[in-house]
A and B are shown apart, each in its own frame.
Chain A
Amino acid sequence: MTFLDMQGIGKTFPDGTEAVRGIDLSVGEGEFIVLLGPSGCGKTTTLRMVAGLELPSIGRIMMGGADVTRLRPSQRDVGFVFQFYALYPHLNVRANIAFPLESIGVPRRERNSRVAEVARAMGIEPLLKRYPRQLSGGDQQRVSLARAVVRRPRIYLMDEPLGTLDADQRLELREFIRRRQQEMKVATIYVTHDQEEAMGLADRVVVMRNGLIRQAGSPAEVYNDPLDLFVAGFVGSPGMNFIHGTLRRHDNALVFEPEGADASIPIHSETPPGDVTLGIRPEYVFSDPDGPIEGSVVLDEYQGGFRSVHVDTGFSHNLVMRAPADDRHATGQRLRLNLNHRHTRFFNRQTGRKL
């Protein structure tokens, strides 16, 4: 069931900047939505409009069936977490976490037990008597998260809450957020530029660019079936490989001829012939002595569990192959490659849209 409904909302700032240019998005009860995109795509402005911190220039925001477009933040009952922990410096950790409960008149005993419960879940019990200035950045961020999740608002809004943390803390807190959200079943909108975080957290990933939604879907959908080149490149680390070229019919079979290289790659697809961009994920590029693609290794990036091998093939872009961790490649090494045909995707060269 829909809890939050953004109906054609847009935001133009006084200086003329069109930060958000018409967004329609429904968020279900208990759904975890991640707004994903590069700096300046409008994701934070969208979140701030839902929070009531910005007034939309156009459109309506409905919450639980009621129009909240013009309500003040305090009237919307949202739990907000920012990238930069805004803790009260004169209150200790316990008082900081208890603050939202105190302000809605929760009795002391219940306050204490709820603070203790959240502190335990987040591993910050030993910090309860300290003051914010005595905490590391990571711990401050934990406290700020704890303060947000100690009560049950109608919706959580999180703006890159893990952005300033070291990697190991990020994963731990990410799992905490996800678990807490699943327990409390509170609808959540989470903003990030990190596609890995988005994929890990979301029920639905909403990919934004230039103030518009490019695609909204489950992590598997946006990864496996991107609607355009931008989504294909932005989601995945590294993103999808692209090769400009031409699809031709040849003796009743379809072949792809890359621009700038003398190669002919057999293709199994229903895509009509023409100028296209072929897309393929690095894990579907593989080493094959009889493969139709030839190239030399530019860079072998070790990633612990695997390698990203960048290969110059003379095509429009280098091809990146995901290789096993123990398969080390020297720079300059010649390779023959093949593509897993079931996983090739085709995009319109001009519009970038999926064919």
Chain B
Amino acid sequence: MAGTLLKLENVGKRFGAVAALRDVSLEVMADELLVVLGPTGAGKTTLLRTIAGLEAPDNGRVLMAGADVTDRSPADRDVALVFQDFSLYPNWTVRRNLEFPLKAPGRNMTAGQIAERVEWAAELLKITPLLDRRSQRLSGGEMQRVAIGRAIVRRPRLFLMDEPLTNLDAKLREVLRVELVCLRRELQTPMVYVTHDQVEALSMGDRIIVLSEGAILQTGRPEDIYRRPSAPVVARQLGQPGINLINVSRSGRFWVSEIGVPVAPLRSDEAESEHMILGVRPEDIAATGGTHTGTVRMVENTGPAKILLVEWAGCEIHIIVPATDQVSPGDVIHPRIDPDGMLLWPKDGPLLDSPKA
């Protein structure tokens, strides 16, 4: 990844009493897909609009390829935005929708060049057979392909995607997400991709930024964020089902749950605090091998695996087991936490212990 294309320095933005962005600093490399992950209201869209030039930050700077573009218009920044709601011209044909960005004043492209570029984009997105159809006659998936086509057709310096797959069926999302990553790699154009969907974040991102209430909580490779989340609030945003969080206290050689059941042995290197939050992913708990019993409350079959909801140590935890395991509600099992997958945080504070990534 050669060089930085985009840089944000301490960008802040308020809407009345609400701080939408607080001192956000980030970099986007020249050939990477950066995912911005956060729940509704985290400031993701404001961040994207600030990068695009549709919002002016109250403080801080936006730099592109080293040049300060904070005061430049959206057109000057040469970025392409794709929204959740497609926003095509419904009465126009697909071809006309794709041509439109190329006919903007100052582009000076010949009709031949425009036609060539439209064909190129249509082929990449497999929408060539749709070119002469009116966009209102397209399915949701086709519309979003056209919207992406309209973004790539002028070969911008940077793609900005605002939850582009959210309004599509789950199955279609799965297919388009793969295509988008491959397309971006082929074009070697950086992309900032905003989503609240943790599956998209993990699978698409070269790096992920976790945003909450307008501030960046953690930045890193998907593997780092998933295995070494800096705080419970980050940990909770990733994983399906989510991470198990258990309030524990030190007691002898064990961490014990709130009702005094030992859930994991103490390791030599962790001793500071009495009361901690223990985090463990559902795939890092075995259904057997533990010392204390748990009762299976629910079993969800997901295909390759089963998700168990288990009452254990005074809490409810999720455990993932292979689909071949025969488990039914009411069964008694012996959960055991894999020490390598165990995370510990002080009740409020940063990650104290770190398993291998």
Residues of A within 8 A of B (CB): 38-40, 136-137, 166-168, 171, 175, 178-179, 193-196, 199-201, 218-220, 223, 234-239, 281-283, 298-299, 301-305, 308, 310, 322, 325, 328, 331
Contacts and interface: CB of A to CB of B under 8 A. Distances in A.
Contacts of B103: none
A218 B299 CA distance: 13
Contacts of B185: 331
B294 interface: no
Contacts, number: 104
Interface of B: 39-41, 139-140, 169-172, 174, 178, 181-182, 185, 196-199, 202-204, 222-223, 226, 236-242, 281-283, 297-298, 300-304, 307, 309, 320, 323
Given A281-B304, A308-B203, 6 more contacts: A179-B298, A196-B302, A237-B170, A304-B226, A304-B239, A331-B185
18 contacts: A136-B40, A171-B240, A178-B298, A179-B298, A193-B169, A193-B170, A196-B170, A196-B240, A199-B301, A199-B303, A201-B300, A223-B303, A239-B171, A301-B181, A301-B204, A302-B203, A304-B198, A304-B281
Contact of A195 (B40, B171, B178): B171
Contacts of B140: 39
A237 B39 CA distance: 23
Given A166-B40, A199-B303, A303 B202 contact: yes
B40 A193 contact: no
Contacts of A196: 170, 240, 302
A200 B170 contact: no
A304 B238 contact: yes
A328 B202 CA distance: 13
A38 B236 contact: no
Given A178-B298, A299-B182, A38 B169 contact: yes
A304 B240 contact: yes
Contacts of B304: 236, 281-283, 322
A200 B169 contact: no
Contacts of A38: 169, 171-172
A219 B299 CA distance: 12
Nearest to B182: A299
A282 B304 CA distance: 9
A344 B121 CA distance: 37
A201 B303 CA distance: 13
Given A168-B242, A175-B309, A199-B303, A137 B40 contact: yes
- Interface of A: prevailing SS: mixed
Nearest to B225: A304
Given A38-B172, A136-B40, A171-B241, A310 B301 contact: no
Contacts of A331: 185
Contact of B301 (A220, A298, A322): A220
Contact of B196 (A166, A194, A238, A302): A166
B171 A302 contact: no
Contacts of B298: 175, 178-179
B300 A303 contact: no
Nearest to B196: A166
A219 B304 CA distance: 11
B236 A39 contact: no
B303 A235 contact: yes
Contacts of A281: 303-304
Contacts of B222: 302
A168 B40 CA distance: 12
A202 to B, nearest CB: 9
B170 A167 contact: no
Contacts of B174: 237-238
A310 B178 CA distance: 9
B34 to A, nearest CB: 15
A34 to B, nearest CB: 12
Nearest to B320: A305
A86 to B, nearest CB: 20
Q: Would you list the 5 A-B pairs with minimal beta carbon distance, nearest first?
A: A301-B203, A200-B300, A219-B301, A194-B170, A305-B283
A303 B320 contact: no
A310 B174 CA distance: 13
Max chain A Cβ within 10 angstroms of own Cβ: one of B203, B240, B297, B303: B303
A241 to B, nearest CB: 13
